[in-house]
Amino acid sequence: MVLRDQNLSSENAKNLRPLDDLIKRIAENQDQAAFVELFEKAGSKLKAYAMRCGALDGEAEDIVQECMLTVWRKAHQFNPKTASGTTWLYTIVRNKRIDMARKTKYDVVVSDDLWPEPEGEDLETDIERDLNGKIARTLLHGLPDEQRQIVYKVYFEGKSHSEIANALDLPLGTIKSRLRLAMKKLDTLAQEQMTWLIIILLTNF
């Protein structure tokens, strides 16, 4: 159980959220040095993500550029109360990847349709946010390999279940049941984590 030996001190939160301060500096001071540091920390990961999603080398670098420009322009919209910097970056690269991959006239849907900019106040608290990050991390690493492999395929390759079945040379039913198992496991793990969080909160405060 990962949460057992950790606490929710600010020191810890800082380690988990290395990009947050950089994004904040960009938002507040248009800090170019922070921008360069963020590029060095995240640029090559953004590129790796784009390429695993199917972009060629040059396309992936275009996606990286567009992502980083969005960070520069929209850093003020980053709300550390709702998500970590890494998660915010993830949503940006996911959206750029979608919009830059549209090829035919049938691709009418853009990322702004699916994720309109928020209008109201967000409801999350700091604790919930850090918890979500920890849960996500623990969940991902708590999954058995064969289930985690399928979750990765959903995130990276955008394959339908039957395409995943072909790629892994497994029956469609197996893929569906593994994904279902992964979901169930995520749910159980999340509930366990919740229990640990309550214990931690009770002992810390």
Closest to other proteins by CB, 172 or 190: 190
The owner of tokens 């929710």 is 8
Q: Is 186 in the site for other proteins (CB under 8 A)?
A: yes
In whole angstroms, give the CA distance from residue 27 to residue 22.
9
Q: Is 158 in the site for other proteins (CB under 8 A)?
A: yes
Q: Nearest CA to 67 among 11, 188, 59?
A: 59
Q: Is the dihedral of CA 85, 87, 90, 95 positive or negative?
A: negative
Least separation in angstroms between residue 174's CB and other proteins is 15
Closest to other proteins by CB, 115 or 198: 115
Closest to other proteins by CB, 9 or 177: 177
In whole angstroms, give the CA distance from residue 116 to residue 12.
32
Q: Which two tokens stand for residue 59?
A: 């396309």
Q: Is 34 in the site for other proteins (CB under 8 A)?
A: no
Q: Is 149 in the site for other proteins (CB under 8 A)?
A: no
Q: Is 60 in the site for other proteins (CB under 8 A)?
A: yes
- The three-class DSSP label of residue 113 is helix
Helix ranges (DSSP H) in 31-102? 32-52, 57-74, 85-100
Tell which positions 97-116 bind other proteins, by CB under 8 A. Answer: 97-98, 102, 106-116
Q: What angle do CA 116, 68, 125 make, to 5 degrees?
A: 50
Question: What does the binding site for other proteins look like in residue numbers (CB under 8 A)?
Answer: 32, 35-36, 39, 43-49, 51-52, 60-61, 64-65, 68-69, 72-73, 82-84, 86-91, 93-95, 97-98, 102, 106-116, 123-124, 132-133, 135-137, 139-140, 151-152, 154-156, 158, 179-180, 183, 186-187, 190
